[in-house]
Amino acid sequence: MDIQNLINSIAHDVEPYLAQGRPADYIPALAMESPQQFAMAVATLDGGLYATGLADKRFSIQSISKAFMLAHTLQRHGEALWQRVGKEPSGNPFNSLVQLEYEHGIPRNPFINAGALVVTDIAISEFGDSSSALRDFLREESGEPAIDFDYVIAASEAEHGHRNAALGHFMKSCNNITGGVEPLLAHYFRACSMRMNVRELARAGLFLANHGVSPVSGQQRLSRSQAKQVNAIMLTCGTYDAAGEFAYRVGLPCKSGVGGGILAVLPGKMSIAVWSPGLDARGNSLAGLEALDRFTTRSGESVF
């Protein structure tokens, strides 16, 4: 397969879709991104790195951070993590409150906001400064020591983050948040604000494609079975209430973020990152989904 040719042609094919998406506007600092931007990168386990479009431009990874936060925390905390967060798709929007009350403050999965807040609470108890621990993790796994938080985006989200605050306080009332809600939100917003480009993101995802062992840092980030578990949850929950459509069209574990990025993993082979800030109604990158669909359909590569 000529990966470079394939992604160049995909970048051309998705151009008409760029105008159809809308950047997230509930975080004002994200609303300023033009939707007319696209980038895609593929990192392979044999050391290849292919990129097209605006591959040097860093963007806010937002909820893609949840996949890395889960991996990092699962490795440290182990199976006990699953006593506080479930593994089932929610079928609801990523920021939904509705299921929490009748499930006694136990979020359905670690990738909806409520679940990511619980994982962050566990990460704070394990690492202390959980957002800096995540930043170190991503610096090592991308091989790029310069990547950092975007403090303007984190502050913008904090100012408008009433829904996440409500989720945090509700779960605290159910005794599923152990620390303070305010520091929890600060760590969560900072982790989401992290800026990376598609090349860095694709490289950082390689440990998930390599059964938990990173070819970039050489570290065992997850056991083989934990890597399988994280990929499975990405497939079933990583794109929220569009997880069925992503499985159907893309056929890979994916994790999206409202900054317009999507990380996809083909276990045993490669990690793919796409970015285009225009989102569809469910908060996933519209052109990003089109690009991943074309990548797996044309290459014939997927987990199915």
As beta bridge partners, residue 60 has 195
Residues that bind ligand GLN in the complex, under the rule CB under 6 A: 62-63, 94-95, 113, 157, 164, 192, 257-258, 283
Residue 164 annotated as part of some ligand binding site: yes
Q: Are 63 and 196 in contact (CB under 8 A)?
A: no
Residue in this structure with the two tokens 């994916």, named with its chain if needed: 254
- Nearest residue (CB) to ligand GLN, 9 versus 95: 95
Annotated catalytic residue, options 50, 66, 181, 216 = 66
Annotated catalytic residue, options 14, 181, 216, 258 = 258
Listed in sequence order, the residues at least 6 apart from 11 whose beta carbon sits closer than 8 Å to its beta carbon are 38, 40, 52, 53, 291
Residue 66 annotated as catalytic: yes
Residue 102 annotated as catalytic: no
How buried is residue 49: exposed, middle or buried, by Cβ count under 10 Å (0-12/13-18/19+)?
A: middle
Minimum distance, C-beta of residue 175 to ligand GLN, in the bound complex (Å): 22
Residue 248 annotated as catalytic: no
Question: The tokens of 264 are what?
Answer: 């996809």
Minimum distance, C-beta of residue 29 to ligand GLN, in the bound complex (Å): 11
Per-residue DSSP letters for 42-84? EEETTS-EEEEESTT--EE-TTHHHHHHHHHHHHHHGGGGGGT
Residue 188 annotated as part of some ligand binding site: yes
Residue 258 annotated as catalytic: yes
Residue 9 annotated as catalytic: no
- Name the residue number minimizing CB distance to ligand GLN: 63
Q: Which backbone phi and psi does 118 adopt, to 5 degrees?
A: -65, -45
- Nearest residue (CB) to ligand GLN, 141 versus 157: 157
Minimum distance, C-beta of residue 139 to ligand GLN, in the bound complex (Å): 20
Residue 274 annotated as part of some ligand binding site: no
Annotated catalytic residue, options 130, 240, 265, 276 = 240
Minimum distance, C-beta of residue 210 to ligand GLN, in the bound complex (Å): 25
Ramachandran sector of residue 166 (left: φ over 0; alpha: ψ -120 to 50; beta: rest): alpha
Residue in this structure with the two tokens 């905390």, named with its chain if needed: 77
Q: Among all residues, which ones are annotated catalytic?
A: 63, 66, 188, 240, 258
